[in-house]
Amino acid sequence: MILATRRACQPTRSGWQREMAEAVRSPRELVTALGLDPSLIEGAARAARLFRLRVPWSYVRRMRRGDPRDPLLRQVLPLDVERESHPGFRADPLGERAATTAPSLLQKYRGRALLLATSACAVHCRYCFRREFPYAEHAAAPRWREALAQIERDGRIEEVILSGGDPLSLSDGRLAALTQALGRIAHVRRLRVHTRLPIVLPSRVDAGLAAWLSGLKWPVVVVVHANHANEIDGEVRAACAALRAAGATLLNQSVLLRGVNDDAAALAELSERLFEAGVLPYYLHLLDRVRGTAHFEVDEQRARSIAGELAARLPGYLVPRLVREIAGAAAKAPLPPRFAT
C-alpha cells in the first residue's frame, strides 16, 4: 500500500525551499510515518551519526507503507551495517582528493571539469560516494572564485559539470550568478548539470528554474539520477517535461544497488518509465566502494549478467551503459554485458 495518511505525508505547498527545509531528518519520524517496526530506529540513529538521514516528504510519499524492503526506503534509511568495516571500502574510493585542482573543482577527464557548486542535497543517499567528502575544506575558500579562475586558466576545459551536493539546491539567483561568471569564459562550450532534485523533489523545477535554464548561452545536458521505477510519478514526469521545454537534453544515471534495482526486470521498468518521461538511460554505475556501503554491492559478474539480460529485453537506446569508475583512469571503464548461453 502506498503511504497515504495525511499526518504522515503532510504536503508542503510553500515552494521547494520550504519542502527542503522540512525534509525528514529523524529516523524515528521516518520509521513511524511508514508504519515500520520501531526496532529499526536505534540502528538507524547510530548509522545516521556517520551520515545524516535526510529525505523530502515528496519522496517518502512514494514509498510503500509497512515494507522495510521498499526500494526507495532502502536508498535513504540508515542501517547499522553501515558501521561495519570491509576491505577495499574507504573514504575516497575515486581518488577525488588527487583530482582536485582548485577548491570545489575536480578535473578527472580531459576537456571537462566538475564544479562542486554546493555541499547541500535534498536527500542523503546511503550509497553516496561523496558521503565522506571534505566539503568544509572546499567551502573554506571564497566560494567559486578559485574554481572559476582555474577554469579560465585551463583553455582545454570545454565542458563544465555542475555537481555537488546537488547544484539545483542552490537558489535561482546563485545559479544565475555562477553561470554568468562561467559565461564570461570563452572556451567553455557546454554545460552539464548533475542533479537528483527533479527526481526526489520535483517541485524544484519551477518557473524560475525554467527561466534560468532557457536563458543559458550553451546547450545544456541535465543528468538526473533515478534508480527505481517507483521514483518516477506524475510530478517527476511534469518536472522532466518542464526541463525539456526549457531546452535541456535529459539523461539518467543509476547506481546498481543490491536490494534496490539488482534485477533486469526492475531496470527494464526503470528505463521504460524514464523514456515516458523524456529521459534516456545513460549510465548504470557499479557501486563506488565508499565506507559504509558494502551491503549495496553487486559483484561484477552478476552485474554483467543483469546487463546482458537487460540488453536482451530492451531496444539499445533504453539500455544504460554499465560502467565502473576507476580512480585516476582517463574515462569510466565500460563492462561488457554477459549473455545467457
- Does residue number 222 form part of the binding site for ligand SF4 (CB under 6 A)? no
Assess 204 for contact with ligand SF4 (CB under 6 A): no
Q: In this complex, which beta carbon is closest to ligand SF4, that of residue 165 or of residue 337? A: 165
Q: CB nearer to ligand SF4: give 100 or 264.
A: 100
Asked if 304 is part of the footprint of ligand SF4 (rule: CB under 6 A), the reply reads no
Which residues, in sequence order, are CB contacts of 87 under 8 Å at separation 6+?
A: none
Asked whether position 121 contacts ligand SF4 by CB under 6 A, the answer is yes
Helix or strand holding residue 284 (H, E): strand 280-285
Query: In the bound complex, what is the minimum distance in angstroms from residue 130's beta carbon to ligand SF4?
Result: 5
Least Å distance, CB 313 to ligand SF4, is 27
Q: How far apart are CA 207 and CA 54, in angstroms?
A: 25
Q: Residue 23, interface with ligand SF4 (CB under 6 A)?
A: no
The label of the residue with cell 524514464 reads 274
The one-letter code for the residue type at 57 is W
**Is residue 117 near ligand SF4 by the rule CB under 6 A?**
no
Query: What minimum distance in Å lies between the beta carbon of 124 and ligand SF4?
Result: 5
Dist CA 105 CA 113 (whole Å): 7
Q: Which of 62, 74, 124, 273 binds ligand SF4 (CB under 6 A)?
A: 124
CB 195 within 8 A of CB 147: no
Binding mask 161-200 for ligand SF4 (x = CB under 6 A): ---xxx-----------------------------x----
Residue 79 vs 311, nearer CB to ligand SF4? 79
| Among candidate residues 30, 97, 58, 86, the one with its CA nearest the CA of residue 295 | 86
The CA-based dihedral angle spanning residues 332, 333, 334, 339, taken in that order and rounded to the nearest 10 degrees: -150
Smallest gap from Cβ 25 to ligand SF4, in A, equals: 14
Helix H or strand E segment including 213: helix 207-214
Looking at the Cβ atoms of 128 and 268, the one nearer to ligand SF4 is 128
**Total residues contacting ligand SF4 (rule CB under 6 A)?**
10
What whole-number distance in Å separates Cα of residue 66 and Cα of residue 92? 35
Closest of 117, 106, 247 to residue 175, by C-alpha: 117
From the CB of 78, what's the least distance to ligand SF4, in Å? 12
| Coil, strand or helix at 159 | strand
Give 128 or 193: the residue with its C-beta nearer to ligand SF4: 128
Least distance from C-beta 38 to ligand SF4, angstroms? 26
Establish if 236 lies at the interface with ligand SF4 (CB under 6 A): no
Q: Would you say 179 and 216 are in contact if contact means Cβ atoms under 8 Å apart?
A: yes
Contact status, residue 324 vs residue 301, Cβ threshold 8 Å: no
Residues 125-164 that bind ligand SF4 (CB under 6 A): 125, 128, 130, 164
Q: Which residues bind ligand SF4 (CB under 6 A)?
A: 121, 123-125, 128, 130, 164-166, 196
